[in-house]
Amino acid sequence: MERVLDKLEEELLDNIISEPGAEYVLRNKNAAITYINPFRDKFFKKIFASETSKEVLRSFLNGVLEGKRCVHTIAYGKNEYPGEIDSERNAAFDVVCTDIDGTTFLVEVQRVKQIYFKERSIFYASRLISDQAPKGDPDWEYDLKEIYVVCLLADFSLPNSKAESYLHSVTLNYKETGERFYDKLEFIYLEIEKFKKEGDALSSILDQWIYAIKHAEKMNTVPPFLNAPELDQFFYLAKYSKLTKEERDMYRTKEQVGWDNKNTANFAGGKKEGLEEGRKEGREEERLKALVEKKAIAKNLKIKGISLEIIAGATDLSIEEIVGL
């Protein structure tokens, strides 16, 4: 989630000691890492949201939407949607793209449990819907384009979801009959921790993608049963050796923080302690996100010529922080 990186990441890295040496070795494992964990913040974007990633993302989405529609082209869209008014909360997405017919796809990754994640995904969809309204066109007749919200849940499951089901498709239907009421909005949730299939049981392109995303960091080589379109490019982009020095430092830090949080929860014992650790990490992520959003608002107000004192009062940022934007 690149929205909390850049300057904030550098500040965080200054407070955490990186592992020495050029070669990075996974804790409690003997082999050097070959592929990165795609769920580590900005690294998901590196794999799925760069100019060299378009075919990777298209293939993944076609796996998710198999039997529903085919994605033909990928054009990345903006991933920051400011509020309609200065005091309204911004929405910052992981990956947004459109197909040739204007259909929009939002791909969100969530690692830690968030109580209102379903509500958050609906809120994000509402931003994509409202953004379709052309500014200053009184003749627009609400001809909305399709929107798909695809959510990858790394380490938690949706409340009340079936234990054996890892794929959930949510649409607007008539309560009485179950028939589709509106066919231009769909939420798709992938609960990665529930996916237990092994190589010989992978029966679809989506199975291969989920297996690859879930197990990439544990692999030294790509198994032959992972042969879906563009998976070879996925593994190429996920190579640890392709990271820059700064990216390797950041990745080591993310892994270390993840291990420490997990080990702390295990040492404390019981589900209560583990959930509390997850909540802390979630709150920290939300705090960083809110800070980035405040800085984005402050920067826009600064460009418009609003006084620093007013901006500081509206965003709770210091004058020094605002001057430095």
Reduced 3-state DSSP string for the chain: CHHHCCHHHHHHHHCCCCCCCCCCECCCCCCECCECCCCCCHHHHHHHCCHHHHHHHHHHHHHHCCCCCCCCCCEECCCEECCCCCCCCCEECCEEEECCCCCEEEEEEECCCCCCHHHHHHHHHHHHHHCCCCCCCCCCCCCCCCEEEEEEECCCCCCCCCCCCCEEEEEEECCCCCCEEEEEEEEEEEEHHHCCCCHHHCCCHHHHHHHHHHHHHHCCCCCCCCCCCCHHHHHHHCEHHHCCHHHHHHHHHHHHHHHHHHHHHHHHCHHHHHHHHHHHHHHHHHHHHHHHHHHHHHHHHHHCCCCHHHHHHHHCCCHHHHHCC
The pLDDT value recorded for residue 13 is: 38
Of the chain, the percentage scoring pLDDT greater than 90 comes to: 47
Mean pLDDT of 253-279: 57
The span from the CA of 159 to the CA of 66, in Å, is: 25
Strand pairing category for 167-173 and 95-98: unpaired
Of the chain, the percentage scoring pLDDT greater than 70 comes to: 77
pLDDT band at 297 (very low <50, low <70, confident <90, very high): confident
- If one compares 181 and 16, the residue with the highest pLDDT of the two is 181
Per residue in 112-171, pLDDT tens? 888 899 999 999 999 999 999 998 888 899 999 999 999 999 988 998 888 889 999 999
Per residue in 30-44, pLDDT tens? 457 899 999 876 889
C-alpha distance from residue 315 to each of 7, 76, 148, 216 (Å): 18, 30, 32, 40
The pLDDT value recorded for residue 72 is: 94
pLDDT band at 285 (very low <50, low <70, confident <90, very high): confident
The span from the CA of 217 to the CA of 134, in Å, is: 43
Per residue in 64-100, pLDDT tens? 999 899 999 999 987 766 655 555 555 678 899 999 9
pLDDT band at 283 (very low <50, low <70, confident <90, very high): confident
- If one compares 104 and 281, the residue with the highest pLDDT of the two is 104
Strand pairing category for 91-92 and 180-191: unpaired
Q: What is the mean pLDDT of the chain?
A: 81
Which of 88-97, 188-197, 295-304 shows the lowest per-residue confidence on average (mean pLDDT)?
Answer: 88-97
